């Protein structure tokens, strides 16, 4: 990565962990660790912790992200949250296309693209997750899979919005498996 063009970031995805009290304790512990970092520091927390995280990181170099976003602005989408809702709260980042969302909730490259577009249009920065499963890696088609995901997930995104996209390569086969 050319650090003259882009600043490195460290982003932590909390997944479905930490209640508000636990989140506050972890954020307070992270603040002195992150204080002198020259890279970007982002915590992506569950929806229930967004307000806590935003309040406790105010005035620090820690930025807050959400773990998901819906592609519609509003409507009958129980349990979902829109990009406008996130930006209104003060959230800066959102994870899109995480392998767990693809695996457990049936997200496709089409829905990932719609979520990415909605987030960017609302002014959010997108952490776009890409990666192959073990069978694809063993078949030697990692480059093709990641290239295809990149093209489909970013289809129609104007060049000027790409500065607000962070691509996170996360090989699905390496998540929690002990394989490296």
Give catalytic residues, as residue numbers.
98, 170
Q: Are 53 and 67 in contact (CB under 8 A)?
A: no
Cβ atoms of residues 81 and 70 within 8 Å: yes
Please state, in angstroms and rounded to a whole number, the distance separating the CA atoms of residues 110 and 113.
5
For 125: left if phi > 0, alpha if psi spans -120 to 50, otherwise beta; the answer is beta
Half-sphere exposure in the Cβ direction for 62 (13 Å, CA): 24
Query: What phi, psi does 41 have (nearest 5°)?
Result: -120, 120
In whole angstroms, give the CA distance from residue 120 to residue 133: 27
């Amino acid at each position: 990565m050319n650090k003259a063009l882009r600043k490195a970031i460290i982003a932590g995805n909390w997944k479905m962990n930490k209640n508000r009290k636990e989140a506050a304790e972890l954020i307070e512990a992270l603040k002195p660790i992150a204080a002198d970092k020259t890279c970007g520091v982002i915590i992506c927390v569950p929806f229930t912790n967004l307000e806590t995280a935003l309040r406790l990181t105010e005035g620090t170099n820690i930025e807050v992200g959400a773990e998901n976003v819906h592609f519609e602005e509003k409507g009958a989408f129980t349990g979902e949250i829109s990009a406008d809702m996130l930006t209104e709260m003060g959230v800066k980042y959102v994870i899109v296309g995480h392998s767990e969302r693809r695996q457990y909730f049936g997200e496709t490259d089409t829905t990932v693209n719609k979520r990415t577009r909605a987030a960017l249009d609302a002014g959010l920065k997108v952490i776009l997750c890409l990666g192959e499963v073990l069978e694809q890696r063993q078949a030697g088609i990692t480059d093709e899979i990641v290239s295809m995901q990149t093209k489909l997930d970013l289809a129609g995104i104007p060049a000027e919005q790409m500065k607000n996209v962070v691509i996170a390569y996360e090989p699905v086969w390496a998540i929690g498996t002990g394989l490296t």
